[in-house]
Structure formats: structure tokens, C-alpha cells
Structure 1
Amino acid sequence: MFSLKSFRKRLREYHSVWEQVLFGLSLLGVFTVVHLFIQQGRNFDRGCFGFEALDTEQMAFDCSAVVSSGSGTFLGVSNIVWGVGFYLGIAFLTFAIFWGGRRWRAWMQGGRFGVLTGGVFYSSYLVYMQVAVINALCALCLASAGITVLLFAMQAILLATDLQSSETTMTDRLFKRDLTVYVYSVAFVAILIGADLTYFNALTPAAEEAATAHKEQYSGAACQLNAEKGPVSDPSSLVSFQDVTMGPSDASVTIVEYFDPNCPHCKTFHEETMKTLISEYSDQVRFVFKPFPLRGSSLPEVQALYAAHQEGKFSEMLNAQYARQSRTGITEQDLRAIASEIGMNPDVLMSRVNQNKYREQILKQRKRAINIGVDSTPTVLVNGHFAGSRSLECMKMFIQRAQEGTLGEGA
């Protein structure tokens, strides 16, 4: 039964193992948030965790969309900064509970409980924003929220349950043992953070690796289909009534391109290959354009593309976006300027973008693309076959073989 006297007593108690676990969890929280900061600096080029093998369900986790959203800051300060300060604060208070006497311990316990309560409420708000508003999840943010909830639960148990206190048995030997645990824990996490920073600073950005592959692909290599990815069993399922298409709907050849308007290689492929193909094969081939946002920063542009498509100005919008291309995405001012240039109403365009009118459609299409094997941009399929080589000469050869019905035989 709860009583104020027993509660005050618990505030002054010290539980060795529990406090060490709380301290370790707070340091784990610091590492998680620092790792999030590192991945944000890399624009999450290898997924939320920084390891592509762990991001098999890319549709489920989109850290970039979450971190770059309005809920990514509080009072003008990044949640990453708040997160590091929060966990360091918990670690400091926990160590103070160990080091301080019974008189100060009550204040430290009360302070930690208050900070953790605020942390749980704010973490709950951020999870709600991801699920109900942003419609995207940040794996590392969820991990941080889980750590916060676990810390709060342990704190609540300490204050609500009569546990065996270490206070009555604390000796110099036990004091030194516990102090060693705290010091070693800090040293271990510091080394872990240092290794994390060193590894990712030395890791070649995915964009540079893609650039190398792009150069190799256009260096005269034999035209090949992608040997690692088999053809889509039902190519017709790739095209829906919502897609942007050019050319006859009953054409014997369909080229589907997945692209991101902020992808440099997509821009190169569009200007050096697609424009020529469309010019030469517009009456023989159906071209299907499927935006595939690699990061959350590309979503406003993709939505603007669909808004422009409704007014018959998709090509004009895409060309203008490529002309203003930026790794971090173009600004709202840029989109407004583009709208004016191509004869659209800027206010109407931004209203559709800000209302996320096409967001669900885009994310569903992205999930479908991932399920069939799309994992980078540009990705091009010819009658359901993934093109391994995308030079103009190779694409023309693929079209010819598709028309002859021999595309999957010798390419």
C-alpha cells in the first residue's frame, strides 16, 4: 500500500544493479542519437541504420522524411540535440544518485523521475506524428523512444516497489566496484561512438559508389539485362491509370523508369537517353515514368510532378526540377518559380503539395517498386526486364529485341 513515508524512503535508497542498468541504458540512448546524427549527415544514403542489409523493408523506415519534417525540431532546436542532452542528463543524475549522500539522493531521484516523465510524453508525441501525420517511421527514433520508455518503467518500479537497498551493505570495496562499472561504461560507449564516427567518415558515400558504377556502365560494356534480378512475372501490373505515360497504350514495348528528381544519374539518363528515345520511338513504345523518392526531401517535388501532370505539364515540371537539382531538394520558392515559368498557378500547386494530396499514392507505388526489386535510381525495365546497361545504344537494342520477342534470350 502506498504511503508518503515509504515513498520518501525509496527516494533516498540506492539499488546498485538497477542504477547501473539505468546508467547503461542512458549511455545507449546517447549512442543511438549520435548514430542518428551521423546518418543524417550522410542523408541516410544507406538506410536508417546506415547498413543496407538492415533496411530490407525500406518502405517501413524513412528516417529522412521524419527528421526533415516539422516535428524534427522543438523550440527551433533539433531533436537530436535535445536527445543527447536528455540522455546525458539522465546519466548525470544516475551517477549523482550513486555518488551523493542520502540527503541529495532524494532530489536526484525526483529530478530524474521528472525528466523521464517529460521524455516519455514527448517520445509518445513523436511516435504519434510518425504514424498519424508523417506516415513514415524512423527506426532510430523508435529505438530511442523504446529506451526512454524502458528507463521510465525502471524508475517507476524503483519508486513504487520495496526493493532490497544496497545502502546498508555499501562498503569501500563495493563503492569502488560500482565506480569502476560507471567509468568503464562511459569509456566503452565513448570508444563505440568514436568507432562509429571513424567508420562512417571513411565509408564512401553511396552516391559516389553509384557514380563509379555509372561510369563503368557507360564505358562501352556489353549491353546486358540485370542478371541479378529476374523479369517481372506480369509486366502489365507495373502500369496503373495513375501513372504518367507517353506513347501508345497498346505498344508492344513498354519502358518503365523509376527515378528521383534529385538523383544526378537520373538527370543524366533523362537528358542523354530518355529524351532521344521518346523523340525516336514515341509512336512505337509506351514510356512510363514512376517517381521513386529516395529521401523525404524529394517528396514535395514528386507531388509537384503529379500536380503538373494533372495539367498536362509533367515534362515541363520535370525538366525544370532537373535544372534546379539539389542533393537536399529544391525549395518551395523554387517550386513556385517553376510553376510560374511553365504556366501553372503557384498557389494552387503549393496547396496540393502541402495538403499531401498525392503522398499516399507515391508511398504505395514506392512499396510496390521495392517488392519487385527496385532499390536505386534510375531503374529501367523493358517489358518487365531490368536493364543492366542504360546507354542510348543499349536501350535501342533492348527495344529492338523486345519488338522481335527475343529480349530475354541473348541480352
Structure 2
Amino acid sequence: AIFLYQRHTLKVATVQASEQAGAMVRPHSPVIGAADAQVTIVEFFDPACEACKAFHPRVKQILAAFPRETRLVIRYTPFHREASVAAVRILEAARAQGKFETTLEALLDGQRAWAGQGANASTRVWAIAQAAGLDVDLARKHFASGSADALLAQDVLDLKALGVRGTPTFFVNGKPLASTDPDLLFEMVQREVERFRR
């Protein structure tokens, strides 16, 4: 019964992804890796999510294994509410300063210090980002512009349209990952890379 349910869920996710292809990647989405890569890994990602943190080193290994063929597109999924929103705003300010990846690494490394901290999350996220090299004055100006909030609102609409219910959720070239298994993600990416190499 569990196998049949998982198969049905994967089938539904595949149909939704196909119908909502335009909602998969947006021009505003952060990209890590080759912009023109043939294999696109889309991760619906919450910076406050422990599973996203645990998965992140494996995703980096995949990008390192196929540096010319793969790219990671991050879609924000603020399931942890205030803490997630604060982190996303700071990540977007960091991206405007060309410090997205270093800030992302710092926030994930220090996740225990800020995730689940409620009202204190924002202060702690700022401190971690500043220690990672973020210019806080510039970041606060970016913060005040509201551009991160507009981006986040679009990502929330898209995750609902695609039926994303948990993080991390992965799609490889528009196909959903059947389970949150890092080995399965690697195999799926490798198959796509080999398909394009033929």
C-alpha cells in the first residue's frame, strides 16, 4: 500500500510539474553553477530547515562532480515562518552584494543559533551574515526596498502551484525526485548528464 501511494504521489507530482513548467524556474531565482547547464536541479529550500542543511553538502558534491553540466536553482520555501523569511531577506541582500554562497554557507553552518528562535531569529541571522562579510548598511537598504518580499511571494505561489509540501523538494530537469534520498538525487542527475553526453 505504501509503495502504491508513493507511486501515485510521484505520478501526481510529475503531472503537476509538467503543467506548471513556467513555475519551476523564475528569472529572479538564485542560481549556483553554470548558467547554461543542460541539467537543472531545482530545490525548494528553506534556510531554517534541518533536512535542507543536511542535504546541502550532497548537493554541492553533485555540482562538483558535474561542474559544466549542472546548475542548482533555489526556490525559497518559508515553512519555518519568521525565521525563514528573515534568512531569505538577508540571503537576497547578500546576493545583491555578490555574497550569496558565502552567506548561505554561514547561515546553514550556524543554523542552530537562529532557526527556531522566533523573534530573536532576525538579530542572530544578521550577526551571522555580518560575520560572513555582509555589508549590513547596504543590506538594510536592500531589505527596505521590499524586493525580497516580492520574490518570496512569487516563490510561495509557485510552490503551491507545484504541490510542494515539504523541504527539501527536488526536481531534475522538471522531473520530481521520488524521495529525499541523496543517492537517488545523484543517480537522477547522473542519468540526465549521460543523456546529454550521448
TM-score when normalising by structure 1: 0.41
Structure number with bigger Rg: 1
Residues 1:320 and 2:94 are matched in the alignment: no
Indicate the residue corresponding to 1:310 in structure 2: 96
The 1-side partners of 2:11 and 2:50 are apart by 24
Are the equivalent residues in 2 in contact too, given 1:243–1:288 (CA < 8 A)? yes
* Aligned counterparts, 1:126-145, within 5 A: none
Indicate the residue corresponding to 1:269 in structure 2: 55
Residues 1:339 and 2:125 are matched in the alignment: no
* Aligned counterparts, 1:314-393, within 5 A: 314-325=100-111, 326-328=115-117, 331-393=121-183
Indicate the residue corresponding to 1:229 in structure 2: 13
Cα offset, 1:255, TM superposition? 0.3
Match of 2:74 among 289, 292, 309: 289
User: Could you list the per-position Cα deviations for residues 150-193 of structure 1 after superposition, in whole angstroms to 9, with x for gaps in the alignment?
Assistant: xxxxxxxxxxxxxxxxxxxxxxxxxxxxxxxxxxxxxxxxxxxx
Q: Secondary structure at the match of 2:146?
A: coil
Cα offset, 1:354, TM superposition? 4.7
Residues 1:248 and 2:38 are matched in the alignment: no
Are the equivalent residues in 2 in contact too, given 1:227–1:388 (CA < 8 A)? no
Cα offset, 1:250, TM superposition? 2.9
Are the equivalent residues in 1 in contact too, given 2:32–2:72 (CA < 8 A)? yes
Kindly indicate which of the two structures has a greater share of residues assigned to strand. 2
TM-score when normalising by structure 2: 0.80
Q: Secondary structure at the match of 1:331?
A: helix
Are the equivalent residues in 1 in contact too, given 2:69–2:193 (CA < 8 A)? no
Cα offset, 1:235, TM superposition? 4.1
Structure 2: gaps (5+ residues): 1-8
Cα offset, 1:341, TM superposition? 1.9
The 1-side partners of 2:46 and 2:182 are apart by 20
Match of 2:65 among 273, 276, 280: 280
Are the equivalent residues in 1 in contact too, given 2:49–2:80 (CA < 8 A)? no
Point out which structure has higher relative CO (alpha carbons under 8 A, 6+ apart).
Answer: 2
User: Could you list the per-position Cα deviations for residues 309-361 of structure 1 after superposition, in whole angstroms to 9, with x for gaps in the alignment?
Assistant: 11221111112112232224563332332233222211222343355331021
The 1-side partners of 2:25 and 2:12 are apart by 23
The 2-side partners of 1:335 and 1:237 are apart by 29
RMSD over aligned Cα atoms:
2.4
The 2-side partners of 1:331 and 1:228 are apart by 36
